[in-house]
Amino acid sequence: MKKDEYTPHSKKLRVGRYSEEGRIYLLTTATWQRRPFFLNLVWGRIVVQAMRFQENENRIESLAFMLMPDHLHWLVALQHQTSLSEVMKSVKNYSARKIGNVLRKSGEVEAVHVWQDGFHDRAIRKEDDLPEVARYIIANPLRAGLVKKIGDYSLWDAIWL
């Protein structure tokens, strides 16, 4: 199957998208074919490294994230006239390139798709309880039955917890 057959609505996700500096957004994106790439902790840490780079470059302030085996939830405050699309493109490109390099060096594959095209964003309203939104994000592995306590899951962070 072609890559586009798995992402029929990815272009629709970009229609009308607006990135407002200082606004808080919940970003969600999934892996290619919902493959559980990030059961591999090394690959997951590559994604976290790419996310931290965005914060170190003052593109975003990372408030909370949860990297599940097959998708990412990320609560960010957008900074310095950077667009959400630029941030997500950078994170996805860097992590896919690094993971692909690891797989090619090991001889496992010649090419690999890590991420689905596009992402979903939701602007958080001022009246939303941000710590509650973060707790909901962080509880994903518990709801999915991956762990019995959040401390047993490695690929998350939140400024409130």
Domain containing 70 equals: 3-158
The CATH number assigned to the domain holding 62 equals 3.30.70.1290
Q: Specify the number of domains making up the chain.
A: 1
Q: Answer whether 84's CB lies under 8 Å from 25's CB.
A: yes
Q: Answer whether 110's CB lies under 8 Å from 104's CB.
A: yes
In terms of DSSP bridges, do strands 60-67 and 156-158 run parallel, antiparallel, or are they unpaired? Answer: antiparallel
SS3 7: coil
C-alpha torsion sign, points 59, 154, 130, 115: positive
pLDDT over 60 at 3, yes or no = no
pLDDT over 80 at 18, yes or no = no
Higher pLDDT, 31 or 102: 31
pTM comes to 0.85
Between CA 34 and CA 123 the distance in angstroms is 24
pLDDT over 80 at 9, yes or no = no
pLDDT digits (tens, 9 = 90+) for 131-157: 999 999 999 999 999 999 999 999 999
